[in-house]
Structure 1
Amino acid sequence: MQVISAADVERHLGWEGLIQRLKSTFVDGVESPPRHHHAMHRPDGEATMLLMPAWEEAGYIGVKIVNAFPQNADHGIPAISGLYLLSEGKHGQPLACIDGSELTRRRTAAASALAGDVLAKEDADTLLVVGTGKLAPMVIEAYASVRPIKRVLVWGRSQAKANAVAAEYADRFITEGVTDLASAVGEADIVSCVTLSTEPLIKGEWLTPGTHLDLIGAFRPTMRETDGECLRRADVFVDTYAGAKGEAGDIHQAIEEGCFAFDDIKGDLAEVLKGDKPGRTDDEAITLFKSVGASLEDLAAAIETWENMANA
């Protein structure tokens, strides 16, 4: 069994190939049971263990093990860590143990970029990233691979961290670490939230016609990045119905507040990619994509990494 490091994943998992692999996997489908979600009560706060299995009908088999420790931010280390075990499908023999953190970062950003490719305006060129963690750079790179991004705004609770993320991409885009989130939302064509917030950060009244709102961070019912007005105003799409119904805090809490109903969801990503449901209907529409992560994405990313390394 081969051990594939984070550096290996970074080297062999390019955006174009990964996004295309994700598209094919969403369209063709794989077996992907609901992920196991275990709350762990730790001395310094609550943490989460996720087990995410998936397999092709006659091909690869995989499972990801993830530990999510939001309190790690207080120690200056990533909140998410994990491993991915990829096996061959004929006899179930392990092929590779892959760094799960880098795999997750890249597949998460790529899934949002894939959704953005059918939901954001074709000429969207201003991206606002809300959050300054490890996912923020990935979101910038992934969106730049599907849209003509020229300007990148970054907002975070720490202005120093927002400035640092912006500075990292100053040679490729017009960048700015912003302090006024409401104004930044109004200026952006795409707003991508990558936080672990439990309180609304984005208000629906700030959204302007044509905006695409991408919600990545809240993966539990108690977490949210938007208020209910965002969902009331937007055409809402999800990565999977099962994930949205089970864990999407933005949706659950908007429903509880009477701003939204589950039946208001316009479609999941597979339906839009297949053409079964329309995506963006016009340039004035406000679109919203809520993802909580799906095990089929991890399997796709692991296969893409493995096959790229084998063919290198």
Structure 2
Amino acid sequence: MRIVTGDDIRRVCSWPFAVEALRAGHMMPPADLRDSLVENAGRKMLVRTAWIPGLASGVKAVTIYPDNPSLTPPRPSVQGQVLLFDEAQGHVVAVLEGVDLTAWKTAGDSALGASCLARPDVKTMLMIGAGSMARPLIDAHRAVRPSLDQVLVWNRGQARAEALRQSLAEDGIAAEIVTDLDAAVGRADLISSATMSTEPLIRGAALKPGTHVDLVGAYTPAMREADDAALTRGRLFVDSFATTIGHIGELMIPMQTGVIAREDIEGDMHDLVQGRSGRQTPDEITVFKNGGGAHLDVMIAHAVYQALKGR
């Protein structure tokens, strides 16, 4: 059994590596998934399991402490580990650092979705939220859409927005802090949202034709980031039917009120990667819900483990 640290993961991972690992994983049969979520005083513990026939199986156990980034010194809001099992014989082959793997998996998932759905000529990205996932999402999206040459940053707190803007500027990326969210939504060609919001932030009325919307933050039945108009104006896609429908408020709430139906969700990542669904015209709005899932962790973990073998 190999212990894989965050440094090990960073040695072999790049955004193209992560995206291609996920793309290859979605050419395999769909995973069998099971989740368990417990909560105490706003803090959560999530255990996710996945078995991908012919690839690997794994368990991811993480805690989610939303206030951790505000501590002195700050700590990650998500902490945990991933167990990777040999698919053929069932033994543990690796234990991988979960914080680092989560960032590669989450942002890589959104970037793979954008590679299938965002227009190839997108120029302006709006990042809603300036937490720990903001920079990975920006970097991952820019890796699959190199035409992105401007980043708009919106966040409720000015300090985090400024820290993100400065980080981007230091790497030569044109970045601007925005305070009028509707106006920023109307400027963006690609919108990525990673917040803890329970009230919609993205108003569909403000979206311009051709925009791709990447919804990352919501992961409980009470959470959502886009309003009903955004969902009805856009063509809807998810990374996994199993981890989104019936689990996340982004889709559950509008389904319960009759705004959208299951049939309105046109495909999952298997459909997108295998070419059964995707963008059809330059002017249509596409909406992708990143629901995560242990199958994505298993895909990245397996690719990392294989890349480290022999090193």
TM-score by length of 1: 0.93
2:66 is equivalent to residue 67 of structure 1 = no
2:247 is equivalent to residue 247 of structure 1 = yes
Residue in 1 that maps onto 2:196: 196
RMSD after superposition: 1.6
Distance of aligned partners of 1:311 and 1:182 in 2 relative to their CA distance in 1, 3 Å threshold: farther
What is the DSSP-based 3-state SS (H/G/I as helix, E as strand, rest coil) of the residue aligned with 2:61?
strand
Are the aligned partners of 2:52 and 2:295 in contact in 1 as well (CA < 8 Å)? Answer: no
What is the DSSP-based 3-state SS (H/G/I as helix, E as strand, rest coil) of the residue aligned with 1:105?
helix
Q: Deviations over 1:198-226 (max 9, x none)?
A: 11111111111011000001011111111
CA distance in 1, matches of 2:64, 2:118: 29
Structure 1 residues without counterparts, runs of 5 or longer: none
CA distance in 2, matches of 1:177, 1:311: 45
Are the aligned partners of 1:228 and 1:253 in contact in 2 as well (CA < 8 Å)? Answer: no
CA distance in 2, matches of 1:58, 1:26: 12
What is the DSSP-based 3-state SS (H/G/I as helix, E as strand, rest coil) of the residue aligned with 1:214?
strand
Distance of aligned partners of 1:252 and 1:57 in 2 relative to their CA distance in 1, 3 Å threshold: closer
Residue in 2 that maps onto 1:86: 84
CA distance in 1, matches of 2:17, 2:107: 13
Q: 1:167 corresponds to which letter in structure 2?
A: Q
Are the aligned partners of 1:32 and 1:295 in contact in 2 as well (CA < 8 Å)? Answer: no
2:302 is equivalent to residue 306 of structure 1 = no
Are the aligned partners of 2:28 and 2:53 in contact in 1 as well (CA < 8 Å)? Answer: no
Are the aligned partners of 2:29 and 2:53 in contact in 1 as well (CA < 8 Å)? Answer: no
TM-score by length of 2: 0.93
Question: Kindly, what percent of the aligned residue pairs are identical?
Answer: 36
Aligned-pair distance for 1:101? Answer: 1.1
CA distance in 2, matches of 1:90, 1:255: 40
Q: Number of aligned pairs? A: 307
CA distance in 2, matches of 1:172, 1:288: 29
Residue in 2 that maps onto 1:259: 259
CA distance in 1, matches of 2:298, 2:270: 16
Are the aligned partners of 1:229 and 1:259 in contact in 2 as well (CA < 8 Å)? Answer: no
What is the DSSP-based 3-state SS (H/G/I as helix, E as strand, rest coil) of the residue aligned with 1:266?
strand
> How is 1:85-104 mapped onto 2 (pairs within 5 angstroms)?
85-104=83-102
CA distance in 2, matches of 1:194, 1:11: 26
Which one of the candidate residues 39, 49, 52 is aligned to 1:53?
Answer: 49
Structure 2 residues without counterparts, runs of 5 or longer: none
Aligned-pair distance for 1:55? Answer: 2.9
Residue in 2 that maps onto 1:213: 213
Residue in 1 that maps onto 2:222: 222
Are the aligned partners of 2:255 and 2:261 in contact in 1 as well (CA < 8 Å)? Answer: yes
Aligned-pair distance for 1:74? Answer: 4.5
Aligned-pair distance for 1:63? Answer: 1.0
Aligned-pair distance for 1:59? Answer: 4.5
Q: Deviations over 1:248-277 (max 9, x none)?
A: 211112223432222211111111221222
